[in-house]
């Protein structure tokens, strides 16, 4: 049987028992009871979402101040302007209205994105795979398909973190930016799962750890 590579898929496509295990881990994380099995990086993304949301709100507010009764009526005339004068002229004539619509759409998008990702963004290690979870999507490499483990520790003036690179048999890799404690849990789970499945341990030059 040909080993599977790094998979990128919606969580709904996971087998039911695997999805149940992952959802249980996410539920434990929401209760702060997941231990080192789940490492959240939602804070890193939330800063960008907040900036986008503030930019959208600011843009919508600015555009709204320039929209009066004529501006709202212009929305009804926009299709006719588009047909008579072309896209560029139509946009120029209603730039504040279009700016308001675009800014509002950005705020809505940010709100939906935050809702879908809240408490569901980070790195997870389960009995079947190591995963990078983003909301209801995931990139994962199953323990049985790991061919190489590389653990690098990075130290700078301001921070210290670990990079775990898991490579599959077809040379595709899953790279995770985590901390040392999480890496130890992940590698231990990979070793345990492979042993339980009767697979050979990853050793020698295929296993690089500090």
Please report, for the chain, the start and end positions of each structural domain, with discontinuous segments joined by +: 7-41+123-200, 46-116
25 Cα distance to chain centroid: 17
User: Does the pTM of the predicted model rise above 0.85?
Assistant: no
Task: Classify domain 7-41+123-200 by CATH number.
Answer: 2.30.29
Q: Which long-range contacts does 158-161 make (Cβ < 8 Å, 24+ apart)?
A: none
| Least confident among 42-46, 104-108, 144-148, 188-192 | 42-46
Please report the sign of the dihedral spanned by the C-alpha atoms of residue 37, residue 19, residue 7, residue 190.
Answer: positive
Q: What is the pLDDT of residues 89-120, one digit of tens each?
A: 545 555 656 666 777 777 777 777 777 888 89
The CA-atom distances, in angstroms, between 4 and each of 14, 105, 169 are 14, 39, 8
Task: Quickly count: other Cβ atoms within 10 Å of residue 70's Cβ.
Answer: 9
How far, in Å, CA of 101 to CA of 75, rounded?
10
Report the alpha-carbon angle 24-45-127, nearest 5: 25
Confidence of residue 49 (pLDDT cuts 50, 70, 90): low
pLDDT greater than 70 at residue 11: yes
Buried b (16+ CB within 10 A) or exposed e, 18-51: beebbeebbeebeeeebeebbbbbbeeeeeebee
Share of the chain above pLDDT 70, in %: 71
């Amino acid at each position: 049987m040909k080993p599977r590579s790094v998979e990128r898929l919606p969580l709904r496509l996971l087998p039911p028992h695997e999805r149940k295990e992952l959802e249980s881990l996410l539920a434990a994380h929401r209760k702060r009871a997941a231990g080192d099995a789940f490492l959240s990086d939602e804070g890193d993304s939330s800063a960008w979402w907040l900036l986008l949301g503030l930019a959208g709100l600011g843009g919508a507010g600015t555009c709204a101040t320039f929209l009066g009764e004529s501006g709202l009526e212009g929305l009804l005339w926009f299709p006719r302007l588009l047909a008579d004068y072309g896209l560029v002229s139509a946009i120029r004539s209603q730039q504040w209205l279009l700016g308001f619509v675009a800014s509002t759409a950005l705020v809505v998008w940010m709100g939906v994105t935050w809702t879908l990702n809240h408490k569901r963004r980070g790195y997870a290690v389960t009995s079947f795979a190591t995963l990078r979870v983003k909301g209801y999507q995931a990139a994962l490499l199953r323990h049985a398909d790991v061919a190489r483990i590389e653990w690098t520790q990075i130290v700078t003036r301001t921070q210290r973190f670990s990079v775990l690179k898991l490579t599959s048999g077809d040379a595709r890799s899953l790279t995770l930016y985590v901390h040392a404690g999480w890496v130890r849990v992940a590698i231990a789970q990979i070793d345990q799962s492979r042993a339980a499945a009767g697979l050979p341990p990853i050793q020698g030059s295929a296993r690089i750890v500090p």
